[in-house]
Structure 1
Amino acid sequence: MFELNPPLPQEGSLAPGLEPAVSDLPCMASATRIAPYLQRLCRMRPDTVKAILSDGGESVVQRAIDAARNLDAQTSDADARRILRQAKADVHLALASLDLSCTWDWDKVTEGFSDFADAATEAALRVACWHISQKGWIDYADPTQPMPGIFLLALGKLGAKELNYSSDIDVVAMFDADRLPEGKMSPGEVAPRIIQLMSQILEAPTEHGYVLRVDHRLRPDPRSTPICVSTTSAELYYESVGQNWERMAYIKARPAAGDTAAAEAFLETMVPFVWRRHLDFWALEDIRAIKQQIHSTGGHQGLDNPEFDVKLGRGGIREIEFFAQTQQLIHGGRNPVLRQMRTVDALAMLAQEGHISEETARDLTHIYGLLRGIEHRIQMLNDEHTHSLTAREDQRTKVAALSGYDELARFDADVSALRIKVHDYYSDLFHETTPLSGVEGNLVFTGVDIDPETVKTLAGLGFSDPEKIISDVQGWHRGNIRATRSARGRQLLTALEPRLFQHMSETGNPDAAYTGLKTFLNGLSAGIQTLSLLATNPVILGDLIDLFSMAPRIARELASRPNLLESLLDGGFTDDLAEDTCGHFGSISSIVEDTSLDFEQAMNEVRRNFRDAHFRIRFKLLNDVRVANTAGLRFTELADCCIEALTPVARREVERKLGPPQGRWAICGLGKLGSRDLTANSDVDLMVIYEPDEGAQDAVTFFTRATQRLITAISAQTEEGHLYEADMQLRPSGRAGPVAVRLSAFKDYYRNEAWTWEHMALTRLRVIAGDSALADAVMAEKETLLTLPRDAEMIRKDALDMRDRLLRDKPAKHEFDVKLTKGGMIDIEFITQVLQLTNTDRDWGSRTVDEVLEKASGYGLLTGEEADTLLSAYRLYRTYLSFQRAALDQSIHVDEWPEALKRITAKALELNDIAAVKAAITSAETSVWQVFCRKLQRETTE
């Protein structure tokens, strides 16, 4: 078993410049040959070495503490720094002699460090107060006494009087505005200046070194609060967003410097926060989850690795502290005897009260002291704030020698045995908790330090910037986003974290998944309901993380509309999209008959159901590649359903003001809507045709108003969002024409005025809603118009001119912009439209791209190879666009797509990877452009 003994004698003479008296202190003589810092101290403070030899280390420690405690507040900054640094050097030398010789146990040594830190901090605070008062900023009449209303709380090791050899000191600086003296500055302005000056006196390095590093990060919300906070704001913070790890930190809180009465008054207000008499379910689960996230594996993997962070590593000091503190939080609210600041005292009381065995308390107390001794010897080497036994054998050999070991292998083995014993006790704590969903290692996001083991865990899970993620999540736990501003929201997040990070890792692109998750959480207006749903539905959680990894736009939408998640719970959500098992389409259609809804209510009702249905289609598309072939049809069916429902709503709205319509209307779709091939973010191209009753006086006004209301119903933004951007530029005369066109005008325009491109667009017109008889008339007229004889040469020339203008005025963003690029979707659509307009005597069936290409091959207008080229390319492009538009906000280069989106797109296309997809697109574009040029008789394919 590990033991601490004085350093073994070292060969060789003393280093040059050392006081010969060092030889009369055997442990220090050996240590100076091992530890550069101790050698430097002995050289700098020869009189202190002599005093240790003559008066004893205990006396030297006390004199140094007294020197700090008695420092005159009116001392200059420079002198204060010098006096305190020299006192610190003496404390370090004397305590090193007492520690290394095993004259003092670890607890006496740490108490000595802590007493000096208290004295130095108090002195620096008084000096700072005096110097600030000399500027007239605050009144400080008696510099021999602490300034009223300003104080420092000690937390962590200093709070427990267990300070390390080279520790930072964890303090929270506060002021009570009602007690602070008046001056030219307000309390909120002057208090931070005092604390900043105090910290500079302690931290600024000089030729004498530094006194103490001061860590202010345990104050409330350190990223957004000044270095010294008011007691009022601190109380509000802890009442509203205080976390369980902060309750743990305040177990060790005590007044360290300044106005003790004000400090004790504040700590009294903290008692209900720290020591809850009755822990609610969520608080207990949060404590369990925090424990579960630290060293989730219960086995001994890695415990024999000699590289070991004594403070934070598995089987280290933190596990012992956490072992005690979690049980203190659970039981201390009802039993004040457990409210002990020192870890070893807490272990003793837990055993006395029957919460742990005497053997457990005895073993952990003993090992705690040994680990603290190792920690001190690590820090004696170079006075660095480190706690690690590194992988370098030379460093560990020095620590082993300072611990009395002559063999590194035995030292490593004994340390490993200590760790195993600690971890066995630790792993039995809350033994009923489940593993971290396959995560190996730490997932610790509490406190202010970045846990090094968590950095390793996240890096191992594939995250590229673990420290940034830890910082973000720490902010979430501080209530920096709306979703975690309640205690339960933060507790739910703690419980979810292991599964979240495991799922993100499994996506293959954890960074993209994390970005989506962050967007989602940042956008939530509240968190409890959503986080509860995810906590109780792990399958949904996994599906969402998959979506986030490939579809950033869905993360944003779900954040703004978290109730969409509830649709995932519908029993029919994952059923075939051809079936309205969730009732979304039925609910939209029911608007037609529900005359109790006004115009805006009907708009919102349609939008609510549209969102759920649209989300369901995208969700299915991005999770099931089989949906790719029918996604365009499903998106179109949803658009049809919404337009059909809102058409009578718009008509009724106009009827209220103008009376019954004197005629009939038909709502027609063109473009992708007409060809039933919409994507997730398509606009809808519309044309409204009406036929007035015989003798009607003002049908044009009615149907113009009705059309305007319909466009509003479709495209207006309401509190429930919007449906589609409605585009009416394909109507006769485009933007210059009336929004509703009379049937006779429709016939006349296309017979006498329409351009070739308008006839091409007409091939995709179909009626979606309105009067059925008028719909039949419109479709009959369409077919008549498309069967009129035309000049084939002129049609091809006009189509080429139009394509050239598009290439010039609306070029492709990149070579994988498959809609606009040469050889892309537009070229295939142009070919099919030109074929229809130049072969009007043929039956083109439904006139969809697929059917026209198949029929063209049958008619001999395309070779079988040409038809196959165009068909396969169009289906390739359609699938590619379906995934891109379902997941992304814009057409970005495929190389910039999330990896998960690349994978599912390749899978849907039955290709190995995205490189194969890119190759297929490039090949298709070349082949399509060659066919386009041949069929439209273009002179060159360049």
Structure 2
Amino acid sequence: MTHADFASRLTRSPRAFDASAGADAAALFPGLAPELRALIAASAGCSPYLKGLAEKEAGWLAPALSAPPEAALASLLAEPREAGLDTLGAALRQAKRRAALLTALCDLGGVWSLEEVTGALTGLADLAVDLSVKWLVADEIRRGKLPGAKPEDAETAAGLSVLAMGKMGAGELNYSSDIDLICLFDQERYGEDWQEARAAFIRVTRKMAGILSDVTSEGYVFRTDLRLRPDASVTPVCLSMAAAYNYYEAEGRTWERAAYIKARPCGGDLEAGARFLKSLRPFVWRRHLDYAAIQDAHDMRLRIREHRGLNGPLVVENHNIKLGLGGIREIEFFTQTRQLIAGGRDPDLRDNTTVGGLTALAAKGWVPEAVKDELISLYRAHRELEHRLQMVGDAQTQTLPPTAEGVARIAAFMDQDEAAFREGLLARLIRTDELTEGFFAPGEAESEALPELPDHARAIIAGWEAYPCLRSERARQIFRRLRGQLTGQLMRAAHPDEALVALDGFLAGLPAGVQLFSLFEANPTLIELIVDIAGTAPELARYLSRNAAVLDAVLGGSFFEPWPGTRGLSADLTRRLNGQSDYERRLDEARRWMKEWHFRIGVHHLRGLIDSFEAGKQYADLAEAVLTGLWPVVLAEFAGKHGAAPGRGAVLLGMGSLGAGRLNAGSDLDLILIYDASGVESSEGRRPLPTRQYYARLTQAMVTALSARTAEGRLYEVDVRLRPSGRQGPVATSVTSWRDYQQNEAWTWEHLALTRARVLAGDPGLAGEVEAIRRAVILEKGQGAEVRGDVGKMRARLQEAKSANSPWETKNGPGRLMDIELMAGMLALISGNPARPVERQLAGAKNLLAPEEQELLATSFRFLWSLHCAARLLSDKPLEPEALGEGGQAFLLRQTGESDAATLLARLQSVTALVATLMARQFSADAARGESGSAAE
């Protein structure tokens, strides 16, 4: 890309505060264009520092300004690369003087944007750090002080990595900025000699800081601050990456997490630095929505202001444009805190620049677009003023002058009249405060207000502060601010006493409260949701107390969007799993992900956004997505130990409700693994296994991945007893054995199970073969005269083993769900119908059922499933409406369209009686003979 020359790009200029000083500087450049001499005069007339630089570098500046500034910058950055260790300091100091002069003129003349100015300064800092580290490490290697290191290792600083923090890390260095660095080395590279290596790297770090920050007759390069390293008061200036990682994992604080938003490797071993930063991602970017970071940032702001004495009235003189009210730090904290809140769930928010971070937040709806635009404009104005303050005397200051004369100089530097400058600055500071303060400072006005409450309610609420979630003072502070709003919502609930008792159970089960209460404080709509859940589904509220992180999903932006279906779910889970570094973390991530979506289904069902049938489908979609997402993960982990799967591989066959595509909130999964070894007798890997043992253990690995309880709980209970020969058979079955068994040995009930079987994961070719076998078996085995009799006997045994123990029973017993599912499966078997859902199986049995019988079974099934699925959401215990309370009963009535519990029970008894009568007639000897006669005709 070619750039126009300097003069043609001028868009603005300061006003010379000291005209005679400016004229003296301009006189040094008689050959320059008038507009360039005017810029130099105006700049030098406001800044003694720039006047001195112009005088010292006059011979360099004149030709530099005759060319594009990008070329001049590239040239001055190239020169230090040719220096040796003895001359590096002088070369870098010269580069710094020239870069300071060039960037100041580009800034003051409007030739470069703010990002180009700060980027140029950051580029020089990167160069200075990298060259210093590599030259000094090379010297340590030459002197034999780095064990095992060779001369060529100096190119990567022999494993020493320098991290740029703060503004340098973000490429946002201000004009007279110091640079914040953390120096780490790769301990594993040195084995038992790591302590000797550490001593050498400590020397390198100290010498590097001297090269950069020592002031000589030539000036200095950058003031260098090494105090952002872990536990700086007791640790050396360079420490191992392992020690740093252990510190952050055990003791890292919110301000350190915020600091690492901007961190990047800037010198030495860049790859090692990048690996370290990647390892810190779980520390910096929490997987949950981290609203507790708001309070941390607010507390930090107040401490800084108190420490610096910045809490006085807002006036221009002595105001700190960085740390004072409405300053730069407010905008940076505003941005970084919101990034910390949501960046763990959304990597797109992890931009390390302030402007980029605000833009990303606005794009994802975390900041209104208008607020983003205004804050960026304010930020740019603040940063330009910061640069002018520092250009006056090359001082690391963000404080405006204490006198009117000093303020007038800055106004001239900004090309403004003093009065307009003062008015504009105060307006910007006040507006910045207005936009950011409400986000940080929680309102105290409603902190203690409680509505009128009965005595028993006040007694329950008084006991809350004894719960573990309110153990810390910080949790109590936040909760006191929430208590009035929370109890107010409770009193407005349809059944306040029930909601209060359920909420009490929710709070009692919370292990900690700061994070969740901060979430509530920042998102009051969640309080309404919690009260709604507590008043309707106490079991779900208790589940929430153990898995409060699922509330993040409500705020994630997609909670109320259309259901993504199995394909969308699978893609989302795969993306989440790919973001984890090892097998155990992937299992934990799958559990977190599944809980979020499971919770979403429950909330949508509870609030009437979906009915029981849609909920059943969504629960089944979710289970299928878990299986398709985890299967390749488990397979890869297992193959890493025992080699690739022998032959064509395997498929997972879902049975029962899973295969039929309709689950409830508490369903387990019925699975069979079928494989095709294609004659291969064993795997080939580090620990090869015979084929049968390979697939048996692979099955166990998959079951464990689904059902083992990790720190994040379990995914599903899994049942593999529907495999051939049940508990006695192998847990994995070859496709030929499975086909032969179905053709020659299986009982009618096993053929019946095939009517709901469906391949959910595994090799596509084998999946097609298994489905073809399933259809062939159904078509062939349903034709025998004994099918109806076998199913009738099976029904009798089931009713004896699983009778209806309550008038509210929906699943087991005559005329209930299992009875209808048994009939539908039998009809599908007899008619050779490959459909799996009950409704489609019934609809395909037109020649076996009278139309009115088909309609009775279909409508009865829909009613029973609606009641059953709703009841399972409310509780995992047998349905007893009285135990559910009024809120739970109201939910059941909404799902079934009945007016009260008595009417609902009467309908349930009527439906089950009618279905039981129909079933008895179908399985009677007369029905069997009638069917035989129909066949003879």
Higher percent of residues as helix: 2
**TM-score scaled by structure 2?**
0.49
